Structure 1
Amino acid sequence: MTPPAISDGVTDGPARRTIDVPGLRLAVHLWGDPAKPPLILLHGGRDHARSWDRVARVLADRYSVVVPDLRGHGESDWHPCGRYPMEEYVLDLATIVDDMGLAPVTIVAHSLGGNIAIRYTGALPGKVRRLVAIEGLGFSPKQLAKRDAETAPERLRDWIERTRATEAKPARRPADLADAMARLAEANPGFDADLIRHLAVHATRVAEDGALMWRHDRRILSVAPFEASAAQQHQLWGAITCPTLLIYGTASGASNPLTDGRAEKMPAARVALIEGAGHWVQHDRPEAFMAVLEDFLAEG
């Protein structure tokens, strides 16, 4: 299925509402008839909700599609102290589901969003009907082993240094929309021009000084020094009871959960590999992605 063209027209886009979480206000974009079965699309790090527009348009005829901007991203508030631990993202998702009365909900999530959705589903399995995580398992076993081999003092010192370095480094703002588009195109050469422009429009805003800036808080990249261990993550994965699909691109460089042992830790899941797709599977191979997604959703 070929995804439809993207339009940024005011009347052609999603409706919008906000959800309050402690100290922050989250933007939520809404597609389709709210009376239809709910489906959440969750974006990844340094991304935004509107990157899902093509997918949302396809699904909106059958679902009430709910697309949040994660804290620190898109039109949602930034944390005043720049702290974005995983458990806060999961709490935000729980708040959205409960406040909007979405459970049991289908979730389709990418990267950071996938990691959030997997943990949420493991903690509250009765809330999720079906789950699709696109490259969302987080660090590979090798990366986790390397991290866990560090001593606590080493990890804390490293986090302090990285956090201070981020705070001290000036933000690299785009000069204008064309510059933002050029940067996105350079990083993602497989994306079509229409998509690049759409992503850039919604990834930037005008700051108080009149200059353009990215909509995501660059401090989201500061990974917490003490995160869930591999064993704790496996407990969450094993607690998932709903049908689950893990999607990976063969050209992404990510560790394959079929061969690295992670798929065995998630009995409810199966893995779909999309040939030639990088990390942004839904953008790199949109037709193949939509075919796999539609087949999985149709089973329900």
Structure 2
Amino acid sequence: MSLTTHVFGPEAPATPTVLALHGLTGHGLRWQALAREHLADVRVVAPDLLGHGRSPWTPPWSFTDHIDALVAVVAEHIPGDAEPFVIIGHSFGGALAVRLAHRLADAVRGLVLLDPAQGLDPAWALQVATDSLAHWDYADADAARAAKREEGWADIPESLLDREIEEHLCPLDNGRVGWRVSAAAAATAWSEMARDAVLPPRGIPTSIVVADRVDPPFVRPAFLEACAEEDSVRVVHADCGHMVPYLEPALTARLIRERLDGA
């Protein structure tokens, strides 16, 4: 299925390119601030994932189906004769980024994984998915704003939360409001994130950012231990919550540039 894709930055053929994958319940426009304020000279290709934003909501929504859709995004938006590009993924998008890098191999210059969510404890994933479905909608925008502040957005600038509500909150058939995300697709994503973690492809330079204020952590100790054996993987700890692209944009941009430069 064709994904709605947002493109920021220069269109010149020689422009360095980043494929940016948002997290669960997010959307591609979340990368707009990072692209415009920190990566203005970089072309950022940012799709809405399956079941999210303005992309198709119809199933299936597995990792494999996401990867198939992302391969099509690359074919459409990143020319085959372009320089290898960097993939950045946040949370659920980080789990997809690793798997997409395995599929595309030599086309990928590097990976930046922001608090990637994979290999999660199945019992915990079930609990979070169940709780999310039980509190899926809100009475109004003010209630949605308050819920976001309680769910990891407490330190995010008000302007970014305003933009999130304007773009991503929509009226529902029951007279309430909710985020522009398929509840069924979101529940499926929690199941996928409980699958065994996949390591970055050997030899592809990878930066992994661990958000140290997340408890329990999305980045599991076993995954970090396995990555420690790979010379091409660098782990960076950030003193922030889970929304790393919003909370640590300068760090995020620096890591992207390092991968674009082949550092």
* Structure 2 length-normalised TM: 0.81
Question: Matched residue of 1:47: which SS?
Answer: coil
Does the CA-based 8 Å contact 2:119-2:220 persist in structure 1? Answer: no
Question: Matched residue of 1:93: which SS?
Answer: helix
1:90 is aligned to 67
- Please tell me whether Structure 1 or Structure 2 has the larger radius of gyration of its CA atoms: 1
Alignment of 1:180-195 (within 5 A): 180-187=144-151, 188-195=153-160
2:45 is aligned to 66
Query: Does structure 1 residue 40 correspond to structure 2 residue 6?
Result: no
Residues 132-166 of structure 1 deviation map (CA, whole Å, 9 limit, x = unaligned): 111115125xx37x89xxxxxxxxxx98xx99x79
Residues 51-84 of structure 1 deviation map (CA, whole Å, 9 limit, x = unaligned): 11211113553222111000111111212x5x42
Taking only aligned residues, the RMSD between alpha carbons, in angstroms, comes to 3.4
Offset, 1:39? 1.3
Please point out which of 86, 110, 116 is paired with 1:106.
86
In structure 2, how many angstroms separate the alpha carbons of the residues matched to 1:286 and 1:57?
Answer: 11
Q: Match of 1:51, as an amino acid?
A: R
Offset, 1:99? 2.4
2:213 is aligned to 251
Please point out which of 126, 143, 161 is paired with 1:196.
161
Q: Taking structure 1 as reference, are residues 57 and 257 closer, same or farther at Cα in structure 2, changes over 3 Å only?
A: farther
Q: Taking structure 1 as reference, are residues 226 and 47 closer, same or farther at Cα in structure 2, changes over 3 Å only?
A: closer
Question: Matched residue of 1:26: which SS?
Answer: coil
Q: Taking structure 1 as reference, are residues 206 and 265 closer, same or farther at Cα in structure 2, changes over 3 Å only?
A: farther
Please point out which of 232, 237, 257 is paired with 1:268.
232
Which shifted more, 169-178 or 193-202? 169-178
1:53 is aligned to 32
Q: Which runs of 5+ in 1 are unaligned?
A: 1-20, 148-157
1:283 is aligned to 246
Offset, 1:113? 0.6
1:221 is aligned to 187
Offset, 1:46? 0.9
2:140 is aligned to 176
Q: Match of 2:118, as an amino acid?
A: G
In structure 2, how many angstroms separate the alpha carbons of the residues matched to 1:246 and 1:291?
Answer: 13
In structure 2, how many angstroms separate the alpha carbons of the residues matched to 1:185 and 1:139?
Answer: 26
Offset, 1:294? 4.0
Q: Match of 2:214, as an amino acid?
A: S
Q: Match of 1:116, as an amino acid?
A: L
Offset, 1:42? 0.9
In structure 1, how many angstroms separate the alpha carbons of the residues matched to 2:220 and 2:194?
Answer: 22
In structure 1, how many angstroms separate the alpha carbons of the residues matched to 2:22 and 2:194?
Answer: 21
Q: Taking structure 1 as reference, are residues 265 and 73 closer, same or farther at Cα in structure 2, changes over 3 Å only?
A: farther
* Structure 1 length-normalised TM: 0.72
Q: Match of 1:94, as an amino acid?
A: V
Taking only the aligned residue pairs, the percentage that are identical comes to 23
Residue-pair matches, total: 253
Q: Taking structure 1 as reference, are residues 129 and 109 closer, same or farther at Cα in structure 2, changes over 3 Å only?
A: same
